[in-house]
Amino acid sequence: MENSNPNAPKTPEMIASAEYRSRLATKLNCLIAVLEVAIGKIAKSVDVPGANRDRLLKIRANLENTLSICSRAKVTLDKAAAPQARAPKAAAKPSMNARDYVELTSIDEYRKFRTMEPITRDQLLNVDFEDLARKLLGD
């Protein structure tokens, strides 16, 4: 069953399709190349006299974040295309998925969360919600 709406969520059957993964990989590769070129051009433009350095650095940071997301998506897509039998690792941290990268605000935030341990059940059970609410509201 072909999905006629290109913006509709992808079904597991579509993602399992080698043809779909191939088309998606091609799009990702093109996007990655465009992002790399744009980042390179901005890097050259930052030091040009009269350049709006702050604006260019913000744009570059956004492009680098997008590139990171695309690169991770490509790795995930490549893994889906060539599944390997892996023995479960003892005490292995769960890897982040593409949704995690989209929800993060910067590459620095990604690096921070990448090194953090998962929240444990005990930590969840011992949350002081009143204290947490005060902290979140800035009281």
10-residue averages of pLDDT along the chain (139 residues): 53 67 85 90 89 92 91 83 50 57 69 80 83 80
The pLDDT, as a whole number, for residue 63 is 92
Q: What pTM, to 2 d.p., does this model score?
A: 0.50
The pLDDT, as a whole number, for residue 75 is 85
The pLDDT, as a whole number, for residue 14 is 60
The pLDDT, as a whole number, for residue 59 is 93
The pLDDT, as a whole number, for residue 58 is 93
The pLDDT, as a whole number, for residue 62 is 92
The pLDDT, as a whole number, for residue 85 is 35
CA trace torsion 60, 62, 64, 70 (10° rounding): -150
